[in-house]
Amino acid sequence: MAFKKKEATADLADSSVVMNARNLQQTAARQRISKICGKTLTYTFLLLMALIVIFPFYFMIISSLKTTEEYRRSVPTLFPMEFKFENYLNVFTDKDFQFWVLFRNTVFVGVVSTLLSLVITVFSAFAFARLEFKGKNALFAALLGTMMIPGELFTITNYQTVNDFGWMNSYTVLIVPFLVSVFYIYLLKQNFMQIPNELYLAAKVDGTSDLKYLWKVMIPLALPSLISITILKMMGAWNSYMWPRLVANDSAHKLITNGLRGAAFVDELGNTDYPRQMAAVAVVSLPLFLVFIFLRKYIMKGVSRSGIKG
The residue among 174, 177, 187 whose CA lies nearest residue 157 is 177
Q: Say if residues 263 and 96 touch (Cβ distance below 8 Å).
A: yes
| Rounded distance between C-alpha atoms, residue 234 and residue 296, angstroms | 14
The residue among 308, 110, 118 whose CA lies nearest residue 223 is 118
What is the average pLDDT across 18-46?
81
pLDDT tens-digit profile of 158-197?
888 888 888 888 899 999 888 888 899 998 898 888 888 8
> What pLDDT score was predicted for residue 114?
92
Query: Could you count the other beta carbons within 10 Å of the beta carbon of residue 214?
Result: 21
Mention every residue, 6+ apart, whose C-beta is less than 8 A from residue 261.
Answer: 245
292 falls in which pLDDT band (50, 70, 90)?
confident
Q: Say if residues 153 and 205 touch (Cβ distance below 8 Å).
A: no
pLDDT tens-digit profile of 252-264?
888 888 888 766 7
> What pLDDT score was predicted for residue 3?
46
| Residue 29 pLDDT greater than 70, yes or no | yes
Q: Say if residues 233 and 113 touch (Cβ distance below 8 Å).
A: yes
Taking all residues of the chain, what is their mean pLDDT, rounded to a whole number? 82
What is the average pLDDT across 132-144?
88
Query: Could you count the other beta carbons within 10 Å of the beta carbon of residue 243?
Result: 20
Domains and CATH numbers, the chain: 93-305 (1.10.3720.10)
